[in-house]
Amino acid sequence: MNADTNGIQADPVSEENKVKAEEAKEAANKLFKAKNYEAAIAKYTEAIDLNPNAAQYYANRAFAHIKTEAYGFAVADAERAVKVDPTYVKGYYRRAAANMALCRFKDALQDFRIVAKKDPSDTSVKAKLAECKKIVNKIEFEKAISVDPRQKNLAETIDLNAIAVDSSYDGPKLADGQITREFIEDMMECFKNQKKIHRKYAFQIILAVRKMMLELPSLVDVTIPQNCKLTVCGDVHGQFYDFLNIFKINGLPSEENMYLFNGDFVDRGSFSVEVILTLFAFKWLYPTSVYLTRGNHETDDMNKVYGFEGEVKAKYSEQMFELFSETFTALPLAHIVNQKILVVHGGLFSKDDVTLDDIRNIDRFGKRQPEHGSLMCELLWSDPQPLPGRGPSKRGVGIQFGPDVTEKFLKRNNIDLLIRSHEVKENGYVIEHNGKCITVFSAPNYCDTIGNKGALINITPDLQLNYKTFEAVPHPNVRPMAYASQFGGLFT
């Protein structure tokens, strides 16, 4: 082997393989530009196999992994890039981006500093460095003054009577503090026209739902009555106009037309406030017909990076974001439908002995950011894999679980099926693990770039499943992650 004084030792590569590797890389670049990221990853891998000494190949594959939200794989590739060539700036930049996506802010800050030092003229990097430093400093400050989150109860300090509604306000109003279907329909029309409801009514909606959620266990039992149906929807990610289209094709929530929205209501899409207020309003109106599961994006750290915190502050206030944050911690983590179908946002666990009672008894209060390795974290973050057993998460959080893991879990708990979300799918849904694990994703043309369909699942009282898929609909000219400060361009 030849010793590289700057990086790792490099194996000799023939000129023929170098040429073939470049051809594979160029093919991968074309696939990447066509947004065919999985195929691009395969071609970058081919290039790496032919020539493992080119830092650019790892950095390019890291970027493709970022596009598929495989942030754990992206970090690994970026690290390989800087080991191969410690002077390769893009490797540090890709690692910073992947660590930002994982909310590893200190690690990202270190790499942004390296990039800024190597290229001091890049104003975009300087801005990202400053923003990342601000986040790290804020987190350190919050730790220094922190108290038990259970004692931090902003909800009890809000005096609705002290919030006046100006006579010039011409939007929908809550009469006597009570929610009505007419109010919600007027509110959706208001949102559709890019208007806001008064902050007093927004606070009332959030407070009412928070009170409901505090009374629920972490695993909620759902029963579908006769002559009713339950619709399970996956991630909607602030895509309000596609969210409205779900109601257009499947009907508005009602006592007979039940819904379970399975997490990731907010972030990425720039109409997250409109989505979450509509969902909360319907939950308030139909508490036993509308169900909401917490997703990995209903957490503070993700909201800092992916836009929801910035959006709430821009449209309302920091106080309202804090109230949303408190409410997100109260959201249930799972639902069991007719005692036979478990619905969670992410997936299963790193151990085999988990029971439904273990899920039901998770103390979800006081943990705004789920701890790595906890049942709660794995519920929100894990993904299925085709191979048996368990593997490290491509995301860098949670695990990947195989068909045998699913089978054992279902058998142990006497249930038939796992429905989860968390992953974009080309056709909106996919059935895996011998029909025992279903992924449903309800944000079509995710982030205005992926081109996927959205899907939903209608479930009858006798647990028959019917799938509907749908395309994206037009929305106002507001880009995804428009409120994500300096970091929107890293992931879109």
Catalytic residues: 297
Question: CB-based contacts of 317: which residues, under 8 Å, 6+ apart?
Answer: 199
From CA 457, how far away is CA 469, in angstroms rounded?
Answer: 9
As a residue count, the chain comes to: 492
What strands, in cross-sheet order, belong to the sheet with 429-432?
A: 219-222, 334-337, 341-344, 417-420, 437-440, 429-432
From CA 152, how far away is CA 249, in angstroms rounded?
Answer: 41
Residue 290 parent element (H or E): strand 290-292
From CA 370, how far away is CA 483, in angstroms rounded?
Answer: 24
Strand segments (E) across 169-226: 219-222
CA distances from 369 to 302, 366, 382 (A): 9, 9, 15
In angstroms and rounded to an integer, the radius of gyration of the C-alpha atoms of the chain is 23
Tokens of 238: 């602030």
Tokens of 357: 């009672």
Block residue for tokens 């490099």: 10
Q: Are 102 and 66 in contact (CB under 8 A)?
A: no
Helix axes 89-101, 105-118, angle to 10 degrees: 160
* 347 residue type, one letter: G
Q: Are 428 and 444 in contact (CB under 8 A)?
A: yes
Helix, strand and coil percent figures for the chain, each rounded to 5: 45, 10, 40
Question: CB-based contacts of 183: which residues, under 8 Å, 6+ apart?
Answer: 172, 173, 174, 175, 281
Q: Are 297 and 303 in contact (CB under 8 A)?
A: yes
Strand segments (E) across 3-152: none
From CA 448, how far away is CA 443, in angstroms rounded?
Answer: 10
**Per-position DSSP letters for 400-421, written without gaps between them:** EE-HHHHHHHHHHHT--EEEE-
Terminal CA-CA length for the chain: 40
Nearest in space to 455 (alpha carbons), one of 486, 481, 424 = 424
Q: Secondary structure of 67-99 in the HEC alphabet?
A: HCCCHHHHHHHHHHHHHHCCCCHHHHHHHHHHH
